[in-house]
């Protein structure tokens, strides 16, 4: 079982990963559907 502190660390690491993925294309504007696909791929571990 993770402690509350460990959960916060994992959450922050997840947000950092997603920020890096989205910033790979700084000139792109994402639709909500595209963001859903990116997030789903991240969660399932699929390369986008």
pLDDT in tens, 2-48: 999 999 999 999 999 999 999 999 999 999 999 999 999 999 997 65
What pLDDT does residue 33 have?
Answer: 98
What pLDDT does residue 47 have?
Answer: 61
Angstrom distance (rounded) from CA 38 to CA 22: 8
Query: How far out from the chain centre does Cα 31 lie?
Result: 15
What pLDDT does residue 24 have?
Answer: 96
Instruction: Specify the pTM.
Output: 0.78
What pLDDT does residue 16 have?
Answer: 97
What pLDDT does residue 48 have?
Answer: 53
Residue 17, phi then psi, degrees to nearest 5: -60, -45
Q: Which of 32, 35, 7, 11 is nearest to 21 (CA)?
A: 35
């Amino acid at each position: 079982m993770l402690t509350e502190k460990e959960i916060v660390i994992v959450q922050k690491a997840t947000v950092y990963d997603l920020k890096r993925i989205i910033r790979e294309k700084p000139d792109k504007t994402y639709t909500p559907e595209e963001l859903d696909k990116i997030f789903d791929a991240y969660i399932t571990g699929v390369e986008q």
